[in-house]
Amino acid sequence: MRILHVLSANFFAGSVAYAVALAEAHRHQGHEVWLASDAATLPTAATVVQLPISQRKYRQRWHNIQALRRLIKENNIDVVHAHSRAASWVGYFAVRRLPVPLVSTVHGRQHLHASTSLFDVYGDKVIAVCGNLAEHLREEVQMKASKIAVVPNGVAFTSAEPTGGLRMAFIGRFNGPKGERAAALFEHVFPPLLREFAALRVALIGGELAHLPAAGKAALAALQVEFGERVEVVGFTDDVPGWLAKTGLIIGAGRVAIEGLGAGR
């Protein structure tokens, strides 16, 4: 098949990691795969087409719809798979009157307003990544139960003993509520642990470090001054499995938590 994944990837969220992993699985099964995303590059060998999918201004959405429609026609796409409401919105109109089905994966709760229930842009079938989301779609979004399937995100587990000494890692985004929690760790948790355990290293892995709250930036700077290279500021990386392999304790949520547990951490 010829599959087009559409995603909002203005930062590397768990939904983006899942979409990329799914695209790679499709490629290895012999399918031809394209990804349309905000990001110009993604950790995949599939063809990546940069489009500002996350921008919701109507003029930009119209341009996105036209660009997707051209992409679908020129490459004889068989199915479009959207991974956010913004992606579903433009995907819905891009496939209109074309013999191309639209599938949407819902990775989190949807914002509830009148248009969410009255205007279903999610396509022919909807994948909910857990039962709670399926219930949310049925009961709150008022989506037809017949179009919803529960398919948990796939994760490839690799279990190995940690290498590289005593290390703990915070893996995730550093913006929003996660950034606030990270700031609290920098200020109240990591300093006493690093003082008590002289061999301990702390790795900070994830994007959006520039969006840490001011208190978090100050606490991180203090950590670096006091503990030097024992505080490893990695930032964004597509080698999370590699860091899991050399880390004994993982602090994370969502997909990171599942991957950490699967790796025996």
3-state SS of the chain is: CEEEEEECCCCCCHHHHHHHHHHHHHHHCCCEEEEEECCCCCCCCCEEEECCCCCCCHHHHHHHHHHHHHHHHHCCCCEEEECCHHHHHHHHHHCCCCCCCEEEEECCCCCCCHHHHHCCCCCCEEEECCHHHHHHHHHCCCCCHHHEEECCCCCCCCCCCCCCCCEEEEECCCCHHHHHHHHHHHHHHHHHHHHHCCCCEEEEECCCHHHCCHHHHHHHHHHHHHHHHHEEEEECCCCHHHHHHCCCEEECCCHHHHHHHHCCC
Same domain, 116 and 171: no
Q: Is residue 161 part of a domain?
A: no
Same domain, 31 and 141: yes
Range of the domain at 114: 2-150
Same domain, 73 and 25: yes
Domain boundary among 124, 150, 176: 150
Q: Model confidence over 25-72: pLDDT tens digits?
A: 899 999 999 999 888 778 888 889 888 988 878 888 899 999 999 999
Same domain, 25 and 120: yes
Domain boundary among 150, 183, 203: 150
Q: Is residue 162 part of a domain?
A: no
Q: Is residue 210 part of a domain?
A: yes
Q: Is residue 226 part of a domain?
A: yes
Number of structural domains the chain divides into: 2
Q: Is residue 13 part of a domain?
A: yes
Same domain, 146 and 184: no
Same domain, 132 and 188: no
Domain boundary among 88, 115, 150: 150
Q: Is residue 157 part of a domain?
A: no
Same domain, 139 and 186: no
Spell out the per-residue pLDDT of the chain, length 265, in tens: 999 999 886 666 777 888 888 888 899 999 999 999 888 778 888 889 888 988 878 888 899 999 999 999 999 999 999 998 889 999 999 999 999 999 999 988 877 766 665 678 899 999 998 999 999 999 888 888 999 999 987 777 666 666 668 999 999 888 888 888 999 999 999 999 999 999 999 999 987 788 888 889 999 999 999 999 999 999 888 788 788 888 989 998 777 888 888 777 7
CATH number, position 10: 3.40.50.2000
Q: Is residue 223 part of a domain?
A: yes
Same domain, 222 and 118: no
Same domain, 185 and 121: no
